[in-house]
Amino acid sequence: MLPFVLSLSASLVALQALPSLSEPSNTLEAATAGPSSIAIFQTGDEDTTIYMMGTVHILQPGLDWETPAFQRAWGSADAVYFEADVTSPEASQAASAIVMREGILTDGRTLSSFFSSAEKASLNDALDELGLTLSVFANIRPWLASIQIAQRALMNLGGDPTAGVDMMLIERAKAEGKERRYFETLPEQLEVLIGIPDEAWADSMIEGIDELQDTEHYFAELVGLWWSGDAEALGAVMTEAWEATPILKERLLDDRNIAWAETLSQLIEEEEGVFLVAVGAGHLGGEGSLQEVLEAEGYAVERVPN
């Protein structure tokens, strides 16, 4: 369940979180102890430059992840592309309406009904470490329960959605008057979650038990790979995490990368200038990455030295 932190911004920022039992993570502090080397890629043509960077949607406050390459890209960018606008009141209201309508099971089923007795016992053991039980979610649909559990797990480690890279950059762009553009609307991003079958979400909850039981080390591994700029290793970890439920990777990463590459291709052909793309780091690593899709369309993509 934890790969959401690198793949879907709105789900972790805009949806109401369960109360956390926050404690700082020493393991995460160790993973981010050295200088940041986050990966930044570049593509475009003779009159259009596009920088692409991966983000983490929930982080501990106070991390200094900026690199010289990021600072150059940010300073030169005429506009910044984010996944979705998660800060406007209108977006929040739309999200709340969708969650109220699509986040509840209305056919008499409960979340527990998706699992066998053995699976329920294993899930409850994992949830107990977060201060939760399956009964807390009652008739919550699996997609929403998955997001809320991931939020709780990460916030228990001291993670804060407002300290996530996306939120910080959106607020910084506002303060500096830098143009903000979005690949998706918040409702569109939530519809991606809703469109995945309940059974696939339930399967992913079972597959994610080990992650929940060792959230601190798993999250530190993801953030550490992002911090060190190892995009391919990060992509491999996320692919493995979703190996048993490939539809999640297909819908949350692959399909969206294809759509975003089309937007960027149109941008290259129609506009001049410098642009920065800041999306979940999971989109920039492994098979089907945004860079790979752009390269398949004939664009050269290279890593920017720090």
Q: What pLDDT is stored for residue 163 in this prediction?
A: 87
Contact between residue 41 and residue 299 where contact means Cβ atoms under 8 Å apart = no
pLDDT < 50 regions, the chain: 14, 16-22
DSSP H/E element including 156: helix 142-156
Residues 6+ apart with CB under 8 A from 258: 293
* DSSP 8-state class, residue 19: P
* Burial of 69: CB neighbours in 10 Å, binned 0-12, 13-18, 19+: buried
Task: Tell me the C-alpha distance between 290 and 260, whole Å.
Answer: 8
3-state class of 211 per DSSP?
A: helix
Contact at 8 Å (CB) between 219 and 122?
A: no
Helix 231-241 × helix 215-228 angle, to 10° = 150
What pLDDT is attached to residue 296?
A: 97
Tell me the residue type at 258.
I
Domain count, the chain: 1
What was the pLDDT predicted at 5?
59
What pLDDT was estimated at residue 4?
57
The two three-digit tokens of residue 298, written as one number: 């004939």
Q: Give whole-number Cα distances, 123 to 17, 22, 134, 174, in Å.
A: 19, 21, 7, 42
The C-alpha angle with vertex 181 and arms to 62 and 40, in degrees rounded to 5, equals 55
Contact (CB, 8 A) for 84 and 181: no
Give first-to-last CA distance, the chain, whole Å.
31
Residue 187 lies in domain: 2-303
- How far apart, in whole angstroms, are the C-alpha atoms of residue 215 and residue 261? 32
